[in-house]
C-alpha cells in the first residue's frame, strides 16, 4: 500500500491529482493538508509512520512547501521519502530552491485531466524507483 501525504490548499487541484494517482496506484491512500503547519505537525509526529511520497504545493497557509522540504531534510525518518513540488509557480528561483532543498521533482501544475494523468505516471515511477 502506498501512502501519499499531499499539501494542497486548492480543493480542485487536490481532487484532480488524487483521482489521477488513484487510477495509476489503486492501493494508494492519501492524507490531505490544506495548511503547511498542520502537515508539519503530522510529519513531526514520531508515532505516525512516514508517508511513501510527499506532494507539496509551495504557496499554502502556515508553512510553505519549501519550509516542509527543509523539515524533511533535517529529519532522518523523512529524508529518504521522495518529495515532489507541484506548483503554479513558473519562477526558476522557486524550482532551483526546491531542488536545492532536496525535492526529487519540481513540476508545474497541469491545467487539465490529461496533464494530471501524466503527472501521476511520473509520481508512480518515482515511487517504483524507491521501492
**Average pLDDT, stretch 72-95?**
93
- pLDDT value of residue 123: 83
The CATH topology of domain 2-130 is: Rossmann fold (3.40.50)
pLDDT of residue 48: 79
Sequence-distant (≥ 6) Cβ neighbours of residue 4 within 8 angstroms = 21, 28, 29, 30, 31, 51, 52, 53, 54, 55
pLDDT average, residue stretch 66-85: 94
pLDDT of 131 = 64
pLDDT score recorded for residue 69: 97
Amino acid at each position: 500500500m502506498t501512502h501519499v501525504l499531499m499539501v494542497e490548499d486548492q480543493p480542485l487541484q487536490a481532487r484532480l491529482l488524487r483521482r489521477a494517482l488513484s487510477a495509476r496506484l489503486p492501493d494508494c491512500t492519501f492524507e490531505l493538508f490544506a495548511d503547511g503547519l498542520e502537515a508539519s505537525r503530522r510529519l513531526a509526529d514520531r508515532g505516525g509512520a512516514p508517508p511513501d511520497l510527499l506532494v507539496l504545493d509551495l504557496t499554502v497557509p502556515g508553512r510553505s512547501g519549501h519550509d516542509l522540504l527543509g523539515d524533511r531534510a533535517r529529519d532522518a525518518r523523512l529524508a529518504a521519502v521522495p518529495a515532489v513540488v507541484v506548483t503554479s509557480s513558473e519562477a526558476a528561483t522557486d524550482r532551483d530552491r526546491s531542488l536545492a532543498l532536496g525535492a526529487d521533482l519540481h513540476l508545474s501544475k497541469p491545467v487539465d485531466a490529461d496533464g494530471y494523468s501524466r503527472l501521476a505516471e511520473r509520481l508512480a515511477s518515482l515511487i517504483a524507483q524507491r521501492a
